[in-house]
Structure 1
Amino acid sequence: MHFTIRQARPNEKDAVLRVYYAGWRAAYKDLIPKDALTDQAIRPHIALNPERSWVAVVDEAIVGTVQFGPNPEDPDGVAEIRTLYLLQEYWGTGIGKKLMQFARSWLASRGYTRAYLWMFTENKRAAGFYQRLGFSDTGESETYTIGERRYEGSKWEAPLQPVPPHHTGPHPFWADPHISESMLRAHLDPETDRASRKPATIRRTVRWLAEQYPAVKSVLDLGCGPGLYTNEWQQAGLQVTGIDLSSRSITYAQAQNPHVDYRVGNYLDLAEENAYDLITLIYFDYGVLSPKDRAILIQRIYRALKPGGAFVLDVLHQNYRLHFFEGVQTPDMGDFFTKDKHTVSKTSLYYPETKNLLEQYDIRTDTETKSWYVWNTLFTQKSIRTELAPFSEVEYFADLTGTPYDTDGTDFAVIAQKR
């Protein structure tokens, strides 16, 4: 079943309330008298906060909701999962579990370390659900009055643990044989820019950089993939080197152009000195790296450049945050991850403190579940200039074809020149 989890919109209050009412009646029909399950009776017990409400959507209809966030009396690092309701016909589909998992992941990405919730002590079905998701009864209780009857509520709590920024897990994306084949196909598809920019843009980039640096004789392309940029540089008569982690991409590139010096390896291990006039790292690869690895890379690139040489890269701008979807999706990605029968769940999160974006793909087959983590980092001119401190001059552009810098853009290009 395909569904989406996203933040509720201001005009969806009535639709969210309908899920609350139906969810209450389904969840508590054996606990609360029927006359206390009308919309009018339920409404006083609902503290709806649209800014903290997230919804599950199936075929454009809201079928579930979760509300969470800190309360004024909560200690630092602690937040409440206020409500979780799902239309009964969607029980057992995994949507309720995903709503709860997303709530915890979102809170963890914002620095919260514990989440708690209150539930009717008699609600054994809910207790089993929360226990399977890692919650435990704290022993604290309170009393609710609904209609003419009093009910006991229990407080349950769970620790929150974020995926650490730039964590790749036990399965590096580029090392999987099937995914590396899928990535190569994506790189070579001229109709899409999912993995590489389209051929016309690549040619414009190489032409523009050649105009900016007419004296360039040697180019190093970091993360060169199947050689789309390196081919253009070599055909322009330059001495070209390409480095990439994917042996599949390098094998393909070597077969296409044996005149380029292609190497399988990690560009963080770059050890040459004063060897290149131009070093490129294109399509936001710089932001994939951790701050520690970025610092190492800058040192090694600076050392590998000849005096007067330039480092060319592009990064995501802080403005990209406004366009970044945060939530859960279940996209149909064909056989990109595996040829086995499977489902894909994609969780997208923003980490405000570190300015990181995470897209986590959970691939579930009949025999296992694997998670793949795709990271990036948001920058401003100031933050990228700080990281490029060794370079004497830094210029900014809207893209790598020379378009003037746009303060409202979602990404930007950078050229840093060595003294």
Structure 2
Amino acid sequence: MNIDHATLSDVRAVAEIHVDAWRSAYSRILPADYLASLSVEKREAMWKNIIESGQTEILVAKDGGTVLGWVSFGACRDKDAPSSQAELWAMYVAPNSWFKGVGRQLWLRARELLSQQGYSTCSLWVFTENEQAIRFYKAIGFVAGTLPPQELECGGQQLQEVRYVCRIDT
């Protein structure tokens, strides 16, 4: 498995994984009609714009040219965050590659780059109902933060997200 920065030629695969992972991971969290309405083409356009603008770093994990997963990260977007705090903006692995170490390898490379960039901590937000992701984040060193959960609407449903934080300068 190789991990490198995403290029425009990776955008379609990033979008497909984004939609497929949402449909699998959130099938018990979000309404089925909302998940069915997700558009690979819209996600492809979104990720193309993000890569072109350099808004966030995106790494892809590939095996023989096939994208298995990706991670997006950069400066923390939270209002209370110090400049030394990064954020894991998103991480998704193709469902057929879950539990094979892809996410862990993506995180280790992202953590290495964030450390090189001078960040000392990294945060992320995760749906409180996403137990599988929370287990993964805890396994790679994240702990629940001190902020209360934040409310958001997604697919016509009220959800909560909780912030997790990890030290990266150890």
TM-score where L is the length of structure 1: 0.36
- Kept in 2: contact 1:139–1:154 (CA 8 A): no
- Kept in 1: contact 2:68–2:102 (CA 8 A): no
Q: 1:92 corresponds to which residue? A: 99
- Kept in 1: contact 2:143–2:166 (CA 8 A): yes
Out of 4, 7, 12, the residue aligned to residue 6 of structure 1 is 4
> What letter corresponds to residue 24 of structure 1 in structure 2?
W
Deviation at 1:12, TM superposition (A): 2.3
Q: C-alpha distance in 2, partners of 1:24/1:35? A: 13
Q: C-alpha distance in 1, partners of 2:66/2:128? A: 31
User: Does 1:143 find its partner at 2:151?
Assistant: yes
- Report the CA distance shift for 1:47/1:144 in structure 2 as closer, same or farther (over 3 A): farther
Q: 1:416 corresponds to which residue? A: none
> What letter corresponds to residue 28 of structure 1 in structure 2?
Y
User: Does 1:79 find its partner at 2:86?
Assistant: yes
Q: C-alpha distance in 2, partners of 1:121/1:63? A: 25
> What letter corresponds to residue 151 of structure 2 in structure 1?
T
Unaligned runs of 5+ in 2: none
- Kept in 1: contact 2:76–2:123 (CA 8 A): no
> What letter corresponds to residue 108 of structure 1 in structure 2?
S
User: What do the CA deviations read for 1:53-75 (whole angstroms, capped 9, x no partner)?
Assistant: 11011121111010000146542
Q: 2:138 corresponds to which residue? A: 131
Q: 2:71 corresponds to which residue? A: 66
Out of 26, 48, 52, the residue aligned to residue 24 of structure 2 is 26
Q: Which runs of 4+ in 1 moved over 6 A?
A: none
Deviation at 1:123, TM superposition (A): 0.9
Indicate the structure (1 or 2) with the bigger Cα radius of gyration. Answer: 1
Residue identity over aligned pairs, in percent, reads 27
Deviation at 1:36, TM superposition (A): 1.3
- Kept in 1: contact 2:86–2:119 (CA 8 A): yes
Q: C-alpha distance in 2, partners of 1:18/1:83? A: 14
Out of 117, 122, 125, the residue aligned to residue 115 of structure 1 is 122
TM-score where L is the length of structure 2: 0.85
> What letter corresponds to residue 38 of structure 2 in structure 1?
D
Q: C-alpha distance in 1, partners of 2:140/2:10? A: 28
Q: C-alpha distance in 1, partners of 2:164/2:46? A: 19
Q: 1:101 corresponds to which residue? A: 108
Matched residue count: 159
- Kept in 2: contact 1:80–1:115 (CA 8 A): yes
> What letter corresponds to residue 139 of structure 2 in structure 1?
R
Unaligned runs of 5+ in 1: 163-419
Deviation at 1:47, TM superposition (A): 6.2
- Secondary structure of the 2:145 match is strand
Q: C-alpha distance in 1, partners of 2:124/2:103? A: 15
Q: CA RMSD in A?
A: 2.2
> What letter corresponds to residue 169 of structure 2 in structure 1?
Q
